[in-house]
Amino acid sequence: MFFRGGVELKGYKQYFLRKLGWFGITFVVAVLLNFILPRLMPGDPVAVITQKVTQGMTSQSGVSKIYQQYAELFGTKKPMLEQFVLYVKNVAHGNFGVSFSQYPRPVATILRESIWWTICLQFPAIIVGWLIGNMLGALAAYLKGRFDKVLMPISIFLSNFPAFGMAIILLAVFGITLKWLPISGGYGFDMIPNLSWTFVWSVITHYQLPFWSIVLIAIGGQAIGMRSMSIYELNADYVKYSRFMGIKDRKIITYVFRNAMLPQVTGLALSVGTMVGGALVAETIFSYPGLGNTILKGIMGQDYPLISGVTLIVTLMVLIANFLIELIYGLIDPRIKATQAD
């Protein structure tokens, strides 16, 4: 037990507060960067919108008038500090502002509509990839021999495969050539969302290609990591000692894999933290609605509020994931807490 006395509890409280302080500072810096970085992009977002909305207008004074209207509306000509104060005030009230590229839609509405597509795609893909990869990696380390010799090259190949390459291969093979699965959209091109098995089945079939394009790559990386950790643990002194003690292999393996899992759990937590920004390739190639597509459109349209909104969510999720990992590590591994406290 780590909380055996007041000293440990006080130590953990200090550790917790220190971490909280650091994450607070990181959050402030991240908010600042979320605001500044999009605005450092070269180009004028109002010009992008003006071009879009003045097509066919022949009057030069009319075009200039439209430009001025949008510049005033979006406040892009105000001093940067004034814009920042307004941004922080709005964010503090949960208001991410109005999208430039999808004006007059609020950023919050856009994010609300797209985030669930991404979470529903990414979360299961990360979990499934993580589970299968770790199981295969552990088995490869334990069984060795032919299984390992076959699995390792495949894992290395998969983990190094670019995401777009995997997506295109799956699309070409299973979508275009074999015609087994649909290649585009979140559900059938001829479907109107409704509460029916036909629609749910359509969603499931459209889910397959983007899902597996993420899972297959994740499996490779996880399997390699887990295999290495397991081999390391299998050769550790405590394993040898356990064997001398006559403890059964099955029991030893539970010790080994529990220890080998620690860094893998960290990886999982970070993957979950970054998932909202991570499905860009799959979403783009399969025209899948989601946050990846949304941020891409935001960047192309220099949509500052939309970019800031998405990056703020990503930042928050990564920070929360990191914070939780640190806290859990502080709990389960006293060495880390002790080192940090020093």
Partner 1 sequence: MNRLGLRIIMVLFAFLLASSAFSDTLKPGDPLPRNETLYFNGQQWGPVNGWNPYSSNNNNAMGVAQQDNARVIVFETPYIYNMIDGKQYALLADGPWVWNAKRTEITFKIKAAAKWSDGTPVTADDVAYTWTANLKYETQAGVGSKDYIDAITAVNPRTVQVKAKLSPDGRPVNPLEVIHYLSSNYVIQKAWTMKLEARCGGDATKFKADPADDFVSSGPYTKFFTDATKVVYIRDDNYWGKDKSMWGKLPVPKYLAHAIFADNNAGFAALKAGEVDVSQQFNANIQDLWLKDKLPISTYLPEAPYGIGASLPTAYYNLKSYGLDQVAVRKAIAIAVDYQTIISNAMTNQSATFTQVPRSLMNPTAGEQALFDHAAVKSLQWAGNDIEGAKKLLDDAGIKVNSDGWREYNGKKLSYVATCPNGWSDWQAAIEVVAAAGKKIGIEITTNYPEWSVYQTVVTSTPLPPTGYDILMMWSDGAGPTQPWSRIRHLLSSEFANTNNNWNGNWGGYVNPAADALIKAIPLESDAAKLKADYTKLVSIYLTDVPSFTLMYRPQSFHAVNESVWTNFPRADDGTKPPVPPLDMTDGYAIAGLYNLKLVK
Q: Which of 8, 76, 113, 132 binds partner 1 (CB under 8 A)?
A: 113
Rounded Cα distance, 191 and 176, in Å: 20
- In the shown chain, the binding pattern of residues 78 to 107 toward partner 1, with x for contact by CB under 8 A and - for none, equals -----------------------xxxxx--
Rule CB under 8 A: is residue 49 a binding residue for partner 1? Answer: yes
> 151, 223 in Cβ contact below 8 A?
yes
Collect all residues with Cβ–Cβ distance below 8 Å to 143 and sequence separation of at least 6. none
Q: Are 41 and 302 in contact (CB under 8 A)?
A: yes
State in angstroms the smallest separation of the CB of 253 from partner 1: 28
Q: How far is the CB of 92 from partner 1 (least distance, A)?
A: 24
**11 or 182: whose CB is closer to partner 1?**
182
User: What is the per-residue binding string for partner 1 in 274-313, x denoting contact by CB under 8 A?
Assistant: ---------xxxxx-x---x---x--xxx-----------
- Of the candidates 26, 69, 83, 274, which one interacts with partner 1 according to CB under 8 A? 69
Residue nearer to partner 1 on the CB measure, 53 or 336: 53
Q: In this complex, which beta carbon is closest to partner 1, that of residue 66 or of residue 135?
A: 66
Q: Which stretch binds partner 1 (CB under 8 A): 66-74, 82-90, 131-139, 241-249?
A: 66-74
Distance of alpha carbon 203 from alpha carbon 340, whole angstroms: 47
Choice between 154 and 203, CB closer to partner 1: 203
Nearer to partner 1, 26 or 95 (CB): 95
* DSSP states of 218-277: HHHHHHHHHHHHHHHHHTSHHHHHHHHTT--HHHHHHHHHHHHHHHHHHHHHHHHHHGGG
Segments in the chain forming alpha helices (H)? 6-40, 45-53, 60-74, 80-92, 107-143, 145-159, 163-170, 197-234, 237-244, 249-274, 280-285, 291-300, 304-332, 334-341
The interface with partner 1 within residues 157-216 (CB under 8 A) comprises 175-176, 183-200
Q: Does 37 bind partner 1 (CB under 8 A)?
A: no
